[in-house]
Amino acid sequence: MSVKHLVNNNNLIAFLKPNPLVSTGFDSIIDDWLARFISPLTRCSYRHAIFEFFSTLNSDGYSAELLAQFLCLEATQAYELVSKYHGTLIERGLAPGTINQRLTVVRSLVNYATEIGKCHYNLANLKMERVSSYRDTTGISTDSFKLMLSAVDRSTLRGKRDYAILLLLWGNALRRAEVTSCNVKDFDAHEKTLSILGKGKGKQAQKVTLGSNTVNCIQEWLNARGNSKPDEPLFYAVHIGYYGHRLNNDSVYKIVKKYAKLASIQKNLSPHRIRHSSITAALDATNGDVRAVQKLSRHSSINTLMIYDDNRRNEQGRVTSILEDLL
């Protein structure tokens, strides 16, 4: 659906009248706005989302002129336009959480433009979708993960790398971005630590303690690739054409999918599913010690761990069985 279609229905046609002068000073707004976010993953996802927004408004996609026209709307016009965009997201069947994320990105851009004097309205009263508090924390069993590890050919350079990555995902419940952002200097074999950029921690590195087997496997990978410099990526591509390039988040996803398939695991597995599996296994092993497991998961709120623990114990299922036994 284009802006022209959205706007014509609401007598906002003036918004679309070409005026190259209006776009003066708007060329760098997107890049300057995105530069405020520390996480490369956030910058990438926000850029994709805002370009998707403008592509929905206009089939020609994003342009500085289109951005200028949007930011120069009257507040009522902007709310009406974004509300219609909200409607198209619902029509496309997107999940409430995804819809809210897209709307949050638009609101963030508008807030930034307001701060620098390029917009005179905000979207503070924009209505969001109601999101269920249910959190799916299901993963795979320890035995299933062992099958994945056994599927890795550790005699190859690729296998040594992949094995080390899988151990980090399981043993330290790392997020894939925490794995891919590490450099060689972040790994300390003697201290058995890895410095990571945790979610929501900005540029402040966190040190996590590694298991002995993980340390040995990372060292084995580093020795096999040879001549590692401190500022080089801890994990990089080994195939022709991309050798030495830092692995990205999608690369880690593909590694997990590859070994899940080789291990004949039917569940749709991802790096974050392994994180779920690791946290659940830790709760099982510690008899539900959420305080201890919070040190592993690095969740800011203990309430998140309680969701994992509740799902693990399936209290609802236990109570249902009790009720059936009363009949």
- β-pair partners for 68: none
The residue among 202 and 244 whose pLDDT is bigger is: 244
**Confidence at residue 317, expressed as pLDDT on a 0 to 100 scale:** 74
**Confidence at residue 199, expressed as pLDDT on a 0 to 100 scale:** 65
- In this structure, the number of other CB atoms found within 10 A of the CB of residue 308 comes to 22
**Confidence at residue 17, expressed as pLDDT on a 0 to 100 scale:** 46
pLDDT, tens digit (0-9, with 9 covering 90-100), for 40-65: 778 888 999 999 999 888 878 888 88
| The two three-digit tokens of residue 57, written as one number | 């408004």
Cβ contact 170:277 at 8 Å: yes
Cβ contact 210:311 at 8 Å: no
> Exposed (0-12), middle (13-18) or buried (19+): which is 158, by Cβ within 10 Å?
middle
Is 275 annotated as catalytic?
Answer: yes
Of 85, 113, 110, nearest in space to 99 by CA: 85
Mean pLDDT of 94-120: 92
**Confidence at residue 202, expressed as pLDDT on a 0 to 100 scale:** 54
pLDDT bin (cut points 50, 70, 90) of residue 30 is very high
Of residues 86, 160, 175, 225, which has the active-site annotation?
175
Stated as kind and residue range, the H or E segment containing 36 is: none
Q: Is the pLDDT assigned to residue 203 strictly greater than 80? A: no
- Among 17-21, 67-71, 109-113, 297-301, the least confident range: 17-21
**Confidence at residue 129, expressed as pLDDT on a 0 to 100 scale:** 79
Q: Is the pLDDT assigned to residue 137 strictly greater than 80? A: no
Of residues 102, 275, 276, 298, which has the active-site annotation?
275
pLDDT bin (cut points 50, 70, 90) of residue 15 is very low
Question: Could you tell me how many helices (H) and strands (E) the chain has, helices first?
Answer: 15, 3
The Cα–Cα gap between 41 and 202 comes to 12
Q: CA neighbours within 13 Å on the CB side: how many for 140?
A: 23
Of residues 86, 160, 225, 299, which has the active-site annotation?
299
Domain map (residue ranges) of the chain = 3-115, 142-314
Of residues 4, 192, 201, 246, which has the active-site annotation?
201
pLDDT bin (cut points 50, 70, 90) of residue 304 is confident
What SS3 state is found at 14? helix
**Confidence at residue 206, expressed as pLDDT on a 0 to 100 scale:** 87
Is 299 annotated as catalytic?
Answer: yes
0.75 exceeded by pTM = no
Mean pLDDT of 198-219: 83
Mean pLDDT of 68-83: 91
List phi, psi (to 5°) of 246: -60, 135
Q: Is the pLDDT assigned to residue 7 strictly greater than 60? A: no
**Confidence at residue 10, expressed as pLDDT on a 0 to 100 scale:** 39
Mean pLDDT of 183-199: 91
Q: Is the pLDDT assigned to residue 88 strictly greater than 80? A: yes
Is 120 annotated as catalytic?
Answer: no
The Cα–Cα gap between 113 and 26 comes to 9
Is 86 annotated as catalytic?
Answer: no
**Confidence at residue 38, expressed as pLDDT on a 0 to 100 scale:** 80
**Confidence at residue 94, expressed as pLDDT on a 0 to 100 scale:** 85
| Amino acid at the residue 199 | K
pLDDT bin (cut points 50, 70, 90) of residue 131 is low
**Confidence at residue 227, expressed as pLDDT on a 0 to 100 scale:** 87
Is 92 annotated as catalytic?
Answer: no
**Confidence at residue 310, expressed as pLDDT on a 0 to 100 scale:** 76
Q: What's the CATH fold of domain 142-314?
A: hpI Integrase; Chain A (1.10.443)
Q: Is the pLDDT assigned to residue 28 strictly greater than 60? A: yes
The residue among 138 and 139 whose pLDDT is bigger is: 139
CA distances from 114 to 32, 66, 268, 290 (A): 13, 17, 42, 43
Q: Is the pLDDT assigned to residue 190 strictly greater than 60? A: yes
- β-pair partners for 196: 206
The residue among 309 and 270 whose pLDDT is bigger is: 270
Is 245 annotated as catalytic?
Answer: no
Of residues 246, 258, 272, 312, which has the active-site annotation?
272
